[in-house]
Amino acid sequence: MDCGEGVQRQVLAHGIGLGKDMTILVTHLHGDHVSGLLGLLQTMSLAQRRKPLDIVGPPKLLKWLKVTSDLLHIGLTFPIRFTQAKPGSLLRTEGFRIRAAKALHSVEAYAYLVEERARPGVFYPEKAKRLGVPEGKLWSKLQKGRPVKVDGRIIHPSTVTGPPRTGRRIGYSGDTRPSPGLARFFSGCDLLIFDSTFSAKDGDKARERMHSTCVEAAQLASRARVKRLALTHFSARYTSPSSLVREARKIFPSTVAAADGLTLDVDYPSE
């Protein structure tokens, strides 16, 4: 999500891998969100990436990529599949669905929601045995949600598994003012990463520059009933984000400050 300056070094430092299946979501065309993208693409080419790379972003992103990679003679070793951001469902991969909503910033900007696909329900081996399904390949088929044939009978996975389990949902605001539309968009998500450029006392600056304060982020998280909030994009005027986190926690206790290399485990909704 977004590619700030030096992103390729962060990708390497955190062992993400340059050849993996990857979808890059760019929220808007401001330098601190996009200037690292070319470096990342170049590093991927040096590593001889072959797999196509999905990039989602505002329409001008593709134009910028084409012009700059032409001018700088960047020959990519892999194809780019570009998806133009617009409100609604954008992309379905094997494991995820990606949706976008309009963000309220000084330039065209989008917020994203990454939704993990629902997993098949819990498998009950006793039920499968009772129906005469032999252990092995057929069990694993049923576990993956596919019907099987035993002695001419079709056994549906629903007869040997529990209800499907909901996938996890992660939201990312990019730079934005808060809005009721965004609260609806992020409703109930398991982790929300939200713009928190300013402290509440600098609210006028947040309005002027089309960003959010930590308190506005917390209010939106509370309205949207998200499970957890990670504040990000802190202005350099604050020496540490801890005071912003404290302000936010008064409204939404389950708040942390995002930081380079921070790892958060996201639990499955009902577990």
Q: Is 191 exposed, middle or buried (0-12, 13-18, 19+ CB in 10 A)?
A: buried
Tell me how far apart the alpha carbons of residues 110 and 57 are, in angstroms, rounded to a whole number. Answer: 8
For Zn ion, the closer of residues 131 and 210 by Cβ is 210
N- to C-terminal Cα distance for the chain? Answer: 27
Give me the least distance between CB of 3 and Zn ion, in Å please: 13
Q: Contact region for Zn ion (CB under 5 A) — 140-148, 168-176, 214-222, 239-247? A: 168-176
Q: Contact region for Zn ion (CB under 5 A) — 12-20, 24-32, 50-58, 235-243? A: 24-32
Other beta carbons less than 10 A from residue 225's beta carbon: 11
For Zn ion, the closer of residues 44 and 61 by Cβ is 61
For Zn ion, the closer of residues 76 and 104 by Cβ is 104
- Residue of 2, 115, 175, 202 that binds Zn ion (CB under 5 A): 175
| Residue of 21, 32, 204, 267 marked active site | 32
Instruction: Tell me the β-bridge partners of 170.
Output: 114, 191
Q: Contact region for Zn ion (CB under 5 A) — 52-60, 152-160, 172-180, 244-252? A: 172-180
Give me the least distance between CB of 73 and Zn ion, in Å please: 29
Tell me how far apart the alpha carbons of residues 107 and 178 are, in angstroms, rounded to a whole number. Answer: 15
Tell me how far apart the alpha carbons of residues 184 and 118 are, in angstroms, rounded to a whole number. Answer: 21
For Zn ion, the closer of residues 115 and 175 by Cβ is 175
Active-site annotation holds for 70: no
Give me the least distance between CB of 182 and Zn ion, in Å please: 15
Q: How many CA atoms lie within 13 A of 91 on its CB side?
A: 24
Tell me how far apart the alpha carbons of residues 209 and 220 are, in angstroms, rounded to a whole number. Answer: 19
Contacts for 84 with CB less than 8 Å, ≥ 6 apart: 56, 57, 58, 59, 62
For Zn ion, the closer of residues 102 and 249 by Cβ is 102
- Residue of 22, 30, 120, 235 that binds Zn ion (CB under 5 A): 30
> Rule CB under 5 A: is residue 2 a binding residue for Zn ion?
no
The contact set with Zn ion (CB under 5 A) reads 30, 175
Residues annotated catalytic, as ranges:
32
